[in-house]
Amino acid sequence: DSSSADVANFTWTKFFKNMATFKGDLSTLTAPPFILSPVSLTEFSQYWSEHPDLLLATNNKEAQFEPKFEGVEYNQELNQFLFVVRWFISTLKSQYCSRNESMGSEKKPLNPFLGEVFVGKWEHEEPLGTTYCLSEQVSHHPPVTAYSIFNDTNKVSLQGYNQAKLNFSSAMLSVKQFGHALLKIGETNEYLITLPTLHIEGLIAAAPYVELEGKTYIQGTAGHFAVIEYTGKGWMSGKKNSFKCKIFESKQDHDNEGTKPLFVISGQWSGLSTIYTGDDEKKKKNPQTFYDADREAKDVLSVKPIEEQSELESRRAWKDVAEAIKEGDFNKIHQTKTVLEEKQRSLRKQEEEAGHKWETRWFDLVPVDEDHSSGFVKLSSLAQLSMEDVPSGTIAGSKNESKWLVDDKVAQHWRFNRQKWDDESEINI
Ligand code: 0T9
């Protein structure tokens, strides 16, 4: 009816104005109930593997990547790289469109508390086997989520972390992502994946949605390098969620103007994309389907029922707040959130009084020069990417990099500690 629509409109207008003038952590802003999501950011880690078959195909030595072009020299490494790129493209729809699909628009996720965890698994018969997903809030101020997704049957594991820095300008929220993902396949092959910048549009109309901008880089240990460039509605093709991906034998080939890419993939990551060989792309000769996001149903992560969860697990901890959000009950949302926040505040106070800090559960903050468990240093140097704590995908030595450097402290990145998970006794999947 018109009166409740007026109230909603008023609070949205007010929220919009608050956003425009707010300085600091935007995630702390009070928003009108209809724009709140009952899902915590710790759950977003599952978006990396809603197509476990594509993730695990990266280590299937028998599988030949299709389409296969005549005149291209394939080898095991190139074959694997193509599987990695297809899996990565398949994750984007989940990452950036799923709230629109399930709730009608992007919504403000629950802001995870320190130590909040979210765990689940995708169970399949052999040869896929079980893929586990572990997600942990490793920092609250600023909010940082770390995750590990692994499948021991196929020796495939993904680890990473992310932090979003928000900035409001010209009626838009601009979001820089910090962090990266590392995909390990078998004993020796690893891939560094950087996270793109994005912005939230549709704020004035109270119908927000994500648009990607900038780039993702994928660098493999064998040298292969891919650059994926994102464009939105207003750009070149005019279609939303567009991208163009160029695959090279090496970063040097990418930098060398005279060298054509091995392959060029273009289209929509939320729909259809097409692959060409580097020779055919300009003439649009011999297009082949690369990936069709509409045809691949996602595989839903299985999560224990709330009654069996620990108090640190996301869905259990946020149960009352999530219910209040679903009911659209402003007072109840406020009330239930206050209970959770006060509990957290008193925990931090107790820790301070006892003179110890909260310890993260499955992840360690590792200085780059001590990071012997991942290929991050090697892969970053191959791709000439910054190893500092700067927006993901920043070029090493660039002006942009120096803009973000505050002191000469060695950068630190979150890394999964498998031993800690193997020793875990309280949380099970
Ligand atoms: C990592 C992803 C990230 C998290 C979200 C910016 C955002 C929080 C971070 C970057 C995932 O791998 C990918 C997807 C969406 C990103 C979110 C979109 C969004 O709007 C929120 C922020 C915090 C807001 O909720 C802003 C206020 C709201 C009114 C807009 C709907």
Q: Which atom from ligand 1 is nearest to the alpha carbon of 166?
A: 6
| 231 C-alpha to ligand 1 centroid (Å) | 18
* Nearest residue by C-alpha to atom 20 in ligand 1: 108
Is there an atom of ligand 1 within 6 Å of 45 CB?
no
Phi, psi of 12 (to 5 degrees): -65, -45
- Minimal CA–CA distance to 244: which of 274, 283, 200? 274
DSSP string for 247-304: EESSHHHHH-TTPPPSEEEEEETTSEEEEEETTTTTTT-S-EEEEETTTS---PPB--
214-233 pLDDT tens trace: 999 999 999 999 999 999 88
Is residue 353 within 8 Å of 397, Cβ to Cβ?
no
pLDDT tens digits along 136-158:
999 999 999 999 999 999 999 99
Average pLDDT of the chain to the nearest whole number: 95
Rounded to whole angstroms, the Cα distance separating 387 from 377 reads 7
**96 CB less than 6 Å from ligand 1?**
yes
Which residues, 6 or more positions from 69, have their beta carbon under 8 angstroms from its beta carbon? 277, 286, 288
pLDDT (tens digit per residue) in 369-401: 999 999 999 999 999 999 999 999 999 999 999
Token digits for 261? Answer: 């890419």
CA distance 326 to 39: 11
| ipTM topping 0.95 | yes
Cα–chain-centroid distance for residue 421? 21
* pLDDT tens for each residue of 108-132: 999 999 999 999 999 999 999 999 9
Q: Is the CB of 210 under 6 A from ligand 1?
A: yes
Between CA 251 and CA 228 the distance in angstroms is 13
Cβ(92) – ligand 1 distance below 6 Å: no
Give me the mean pLDDT over the 276-294 stretch. 97
39 pocket-lining for ligand 1 (C-beta < 6 Å): no
Q: Which of 34, 42, 144, 175 maximizes ligand 1 atoms within 8 Å of its Cβ, making it the mutation to test the pocket?
A: 175
pLDDT of residue 1: 45
Cis peptide before 127 (omega within 30 of 0): yes
- Distances 55 to 25, 81, 100, 215, 342 between C-alpha atoms, Å: 34, 12, 24, 21, 40
Cβ of 35 less than 6 Å from ligand 1? yes
